[in-house]
Structure formats: C-alpha cells, structure tokens
Amino acid sequence: MRAWGKAWMGFFLLSVGASTLAFLMLMGDVRQEDTLSWKTPKTASVSPIAVIEEGLTPDIKKRELIPDLVTEEEIVSANTTQASADLIWQEFLTQVDAVVHQKGSRAFHPRESENVISVMESFRHSSKMPSCLPDPRGEVLAATGWSLSTLVTLTGWEGFPGWRSWVDELLLQSKEKTWIEIGALRAYLGEVGEVDLDELYRFPVRYQFLGGGASACSAEVDLELASRILSSFSLETEEDWTLRSLAALCLSGSYEEQEFVRQALKAPLFQVTPWDLCAHAGALLGMGVFGGELAAESVDELLEKEDYFGQAMLTAWCGSLLKKNQAPSLAYQIARGWSRRARAQSTQNTLEALRTFDEEGRQDFELLDLLLERALDPKDQAVRRPILIHKLLMEGLEGTTGVFLVEELAFQDPEHTAFLFMAAHNLRQRDAVQEEALFLESLNQLEQLYAEVPFALRDIRSAQAYLARDAPPEL
Amino acid sequence: MKYVALIFFFLAPSFSVGANSFGVPGRASQAECDAQLARCLQSAFEQALSNDQACIKTWCDKVFFLTFCDEEGLSRCIQKADAVYGAALRACQADFAACSGMERRNS
C-alpha cells in the first residue's frame, strides 16, 4: 500500500512539473512572436544593442560585433572603455599642452627639467594607459599641434592594434597633417636603437620634438612618406624643420640599398643655397650610424666643400665614415681630462684650447664640439663661457657654433642674454640669412620666456632691433 | 671684506669701457658704428680677462706648479666678473644704438 502511494505521488509531481514546463515554453514562444511582429518602432523598446552601436566608432563596431559570441554586456563594456579612454587621452593632451604653453617648442628639449618627455614617462608609468586608441573623429581632432604629434608617437610606440589605419583616418579627418606626420615618423623610427636623437639638440638645426633612441625606418610605406615630405620643400613654420629632420633620418637608414633614397637626400645633403639645415642634419645623423661605402663617399664630398657649415656635426656623427679616421687630437684629449671644478684654470684652458683650434687650421671639430658640450653643462666649470663666446663670434673662429652657444645659454639663464647682441652682430657680418631667420625665432621664444625679466627683455629687444635694420628678405 | 673691495677695484673700470669707446654719437656712418662696436666689445673682453686674472690672484695661491683656491671666494668673484662683463656688453650695445640711431623697442 505504501509502495503504491509513493508511486502515485511521484507520478502526480512529474505531471505537474511537465505541465508547468509546457506552459512556460508556450508563453516564451508567444512573447518572441509578439516581439518580431512589432511593426512600428517603439523608442522605449528599441534593442539596447542598436543604441550602443550608434555611439561606437566603425573600428569598434567591426572589432566587437562581428564575432557571434559578443554579448550585450561586452558591448556596453567596450563602449564604456572607448568613452573613458577618450577622456584619459584628453587628460594626457591637456598635460602636454600645459608644458608646451609654458615653454614653447623648448618643451621637448632634453636639458629642460620639466619637459614633454617627463610628462609622457609619468603617464606611461601611472598605469593610466587606455586599452584603445582615441576616437579619430572625436575630441582628438581639436588637439593642438605638439600634443597631437606626441599622442601619435606615444600610441605608435605602445603598439596599439590598428595604429596605422588609425593614423590614416586621423590624417583624413584632421587639418593638422604636418603634426600628425611628425608623430608618425617619430613612431616609425622606434623608441630604441643606435641613433640618439638628442644629438640633434647639440647643434643649431632646430629639431624640436621627442629625442631618445631611434632605429632605421624599414617599411616601404614609411620610406615613401619620408621621401614625399622631403620632395616638397616647405620651410614655412617651425614644425616643418622638425618634420624634415625626421624624414631625412628615416630615409638615411636605406642610403646604401635604395637609389630613390639617395636621390631624395641629394638636395638636402649637397645643395648649397639655401641650406636645408634640418634635413641635412637628420641625414648626417642617420648616415653616421647606418651608412656604408656610399655614405662615406658622400661625406668625403661634403668635406671638400669650401665653407661647409656642417663640419662640426659631420665630425661628431660620421667619424666612422671618414677615410682619415684619425685618433682624437692631443688638445681634445687634454680638454676631455679637465676637471669639472677647474674654475681657476678655466680661463687659461679655454684660451689655450681655442688657440690650438685656430693654429691647427680650425678643423678640429671634435675639440670644438667637446668645448661646446662642456660649456652647455651648467655644472661644468672647466670652460670659461664668455671667452668661448667672444672667440667664436668676435674673432670669427666658428660663427655658427658661437650663435648656437649664445642661444642655448640664454635659454638656460637670463644672465646670458647680454651675448645675444654679439650673436646678432656676427650673423649680420656673415650675412647668414637662414641662420638669422632661426635666430629671430629663438629671440621671439626668449621674449616670451623672459617677459617678466626686464634686463633680459631689453637685451632680447636690442638684438631684435639690430637685426631689424636693413632686414634681409624673408626666406 | 677687503678682498671684495679689492675685486671691485679691479672690476670697476670695465663699467666705463663702453661709454669711452665711441666718438661723437649719431654722426658716424654705419660702417664706423660697426667698427666702433667691434672695438668696444674687444675692449670689454680684454677687461674681462684681466678681471678673471684678478680673481685668481686674490683667491688662489700657487705653490710650485700646484694651485690652491678658496673655491667659494673664487666662485663669487667670477660671478661678479661675469656681471661686470655683461654690463660692459650692454654699454657697448647702448653706445652702438646711439651711434647708428637705432630704435629700440620699448619693453
């Protein structure tokens, strides 16, 4: 009896369960049928997926929606990431802008204590780096020049997927093509490598962007972009100088292998007037590292030129290519050994080194480069700066280096602005039109930098007024 | 203090270098003004060299071929010498401006 009761109870429960399941399934079908039969849109009931899709960029749509396994939660998450990423990128751009606003194009200078490089590094090490690129049609388009370049380089270095097509899209959408190209070229050159881009800051070539390590451009598409940039001779704005330096450097890695590269670099390397200072320097820096026999031939050709302005750079960077690969001079070796605290000997040492430079035919650019390097180090007392400046500028030992030294020292300390007038005088005496244009740019930057320092401002304006007399035609 | 006074004794003449270097201002040709500027700057430089030597004489002692200096005193002295040289350069600029009738933008 008991067994019969149990069986009956089990059958009853099973029937109830089956009926409930059937009922639920039936209701489910009806609801689905009901949804599909909606003919008129009801805003309150539109699928959330469609709403989210509207806010996504085409790349995100492709990347996230093609796989069937994407759930609504994942899409919502992707959308949130893009939005928050854009905000974080915006924050980064603002930080870069603040430094650039404060320091002008000096914001990238490696000798500046707070520069864009330090902003970049602290951003990268703060784990704030977003997981996706900023929307190329969004707020990033409103970014200002240097910050946009920095963003493009940083994202390139970080290896974001789809970076190249993102750059293409950005180029299509933005009017700031030069800035984007600067960022792209610097990214193509990589973040590590045998080339030290900080070297460009040691010479008056107006490179004003991210320094550090770099390697050769290898992709055909990168070389094409660089070649196109060099072929359009445009030096209207300060960013053009930087762009041309990077383009020439990018090409120089293939100097031995590619005929079209040698053709593209021919004008910046050998054309006498006007000197394409920036592209010339970029090419030399790269050739010194990557060059072989053909580069060595070109370097020899340059050395045979009369009054070749780039001898100091060439000696500093292309030593390995020079046929007469001599050991450093005795004067160089002695100057290298001077103590950084040798203040008492600095006057005599500097005078003697310059006398040797003069007597040896003013060709020991390695020595001159060393003196310059030591003079620009504020903690190094071995070189007497006023003597070096006077000898280079007033006694005509090496005007280009002298003007550069004065500019750099003026940026370091307003006390040195007294020498600006001497530099202006030297430029006018040498009739160095292109250098003069660059010097005037520096004066404008210094004017902003020392707007609150009356004596420096007077010096700067004296130099401006001096050059304004019978000003040469603009380039 | 006596050393500081001594230094100023050496440095003081350089203030007047610029002013004494030119002839009648405003009358000279541009080439003459340029030449006068070059002379003025050269004169300021030579004065700066002797100021450097004065600093070293005051703050350093030479024993055979070794030189011992009071680094702090020498550093201060050279800073002052640099300031004096800067002032001399500015005097040259001002005289040149007067000579050539060059207008200076107001600050």
Q: Which pLDDT does position A140 carry in this prediction?
A: 83
A135/A89 Cα distance (integer angstroms): 10
Residues 6+ apart with CB under 8 A from A130: A81, A84, A85, A88, A89
Whether residue B85 has pLDDT greater than 90: yes
Nearest to B50, CA basis, from B16, B86, B12: B12
DSSP one-letter code for B66 = E
pLDDT (average), residues A421-437: 87
Quote the crossing angle between the two packed helices A220-231 and A177-188, to the nearest 10°.
140
Q: How far apart are the first and last CA of chain B?
A: 37
The dihedral over CA atoms of A137, A116, A189, A293, expressed in degrees to the nearest 10, equals 150
**Are A347 and B41 within 8 A, CB to CB?**
no
Average pLDDT of the residues of chain A: 80
A297/A301 Cα distance (integer angstroms): 6
Residue A185 pLDDT class (50, 70, 90 cuts): very high
Q: How far apart are the first and last CA of chain A?
A: 114
> Over pLDDT 90: what percentage of chain A?
39
Parallel, antiparallel or unpaired: strands B66-69 and B60-63: antiparallel
Pick from A338, A345, A347 the residue to mutate for testing the B interface (most B CBs within 10 Å): A347
**Are B86 and A469 within 8 A, CB to CB?**
no
B32/B95 Cα distance (integer angstroms): 12
Q: What is the DSSP string of A139-200?
A: GGGG--HHHHHHHHHHHHHTT-TTHHHHHHHHHHH-S-HHHHHHHHHHHHT-SSSSEEGGGG
The tally of CA atoms less than 13 A away on the side-chain side of residue A26 is: 6
Pick from A426, A427, A455, A466 the residue to mutate for testing the B interface (most B CBs within 10 Å): A466
Whether residue A379 has pLDDT greater than 60: yes
Nearest to A310, CA basis, from A288, A333, A326, A289: A288
What SS3 class is residue A98?
A: helix
pLDDT (average), residues A31-44: 31
Q: What is the DSSP string of A218-262?
A: -SHHHHHHHHHHHHS---SSHHHHHHHHHHHHHHHTTTTT-HHHH
Interface of B with A in 24-43 (CB under 8 A): 34, 37-38, 41-42
Q: Which residues of A touch B107 (CB under 8 A)?
A: 454, 457-458, 461
A8/A373 Cα distance (integer angstroms): 102
**Are B102 and A466 within 8 A, CB to CB?**
yes
Whether residue A24 has pLDDT greater than 70: no
Q: Which pLDDT does position A240 carry in this prediction?
A: 85
pLDDT (average), residues B90-98: 91
**Are B102 and A469 within 8 A, CB to CB?**
yes
pLDDT (average), residues A241-246: 91
Q: What is the DSSP string of A298-316?
A: HHHHHHTSTT-TTHHHHHH
Interface of B with A in 72-91 (CB under 8 A): 74-75, 78, 82-83, 85-86, 89-90
What SS3 class is residue A354?
A: helix
Pick from B89, B96, B106 the residue to mutate for testing the A interface (most A CBs within 10 Å): B89
**Are B89 and A421 within 8 A, CB to CB?**
yes
Whether residue A445 has pLDDT greater than 60: yes
pTM above 0.80, yes or no: no
Our CA-based measurement puts residue B79 at a distance from the nearest CA of chain A, in whole angstroms, of 10
**Are B86 and A457 within 8 A, CB to CB?**
no
Interface pTM, i.e. ipTM: 0.76
Q: Which residues of B touch A429 (CB under 8 A)?
A: 34
**Are B53 and A419 within 8 A, CB to CB?**
no
Window from A26-40, A213-227, A343-357 with minimum mean pLDDT: A26-40
Whether residue A170 has pLDDT greater than 80: yes
Residues 6+ apart with CB under 8 A from A376: A111, A202, A405, A408, A409, A412
Here the tokens at position A397 are 């030992």
Q: Which residues of A touch B97 (CB under 8 A)?
A: 462, 465
Window from A107-111, A214-218, A318-322, A436-440 with minimum mean pLDDT: A318-322
| Tens-place pLDDT, residues A74-127 | 444 555 577 788 889 999 999 999 998 888 778 888 878 789 999 998 898 887
CB A197 within 8 A of CB A210: yes
DSSP one-letter code for A394 = T
**CA dist A464 to A237, A361, A405, A461, Å?**
19, 33, 18, 5
Provide the 10 A C-beta neighbour count for residue A435. Answer: 21
Whether residue A183 has pLDDT greater than 90: yes
Q: Which pLDDT does position A234 carry in this prediction?
A: 67
Window from A238-252, A267-281, B12-26 with minimum mean pLDDT: B12-26
**Are A421 and B82 within 8 A, CB to CB?**
no
**B21 part of contact set with chain A, CB < 8 Å:** no
A174/A19 Cα distance (integer angstroms): 64
Interface of A with B in 412-471 (CB under 8 A): 415, 418-419, 421-422, 425, 429, 454, 457-459, 461-462, 464-466, 469
Residues 6+ apart with CB under 8 A from B22: B28, B36, B40, B95, B98, B99
Which contacts of A405-410 are long-range, i.e. CB under 8 A and separated by 24 or more positions?
A405/A372, A405/A375, A405/A376, A407/A204, A407/A439, A407/A442, A408/A111, A408/A376, A409/A375, A409/A376, A409/A385, A410/A442, A410/A446, A410/A456
CB A378 within 8 A of CB A356: no
Whether residue B13 has pLDDT greater than 80: no
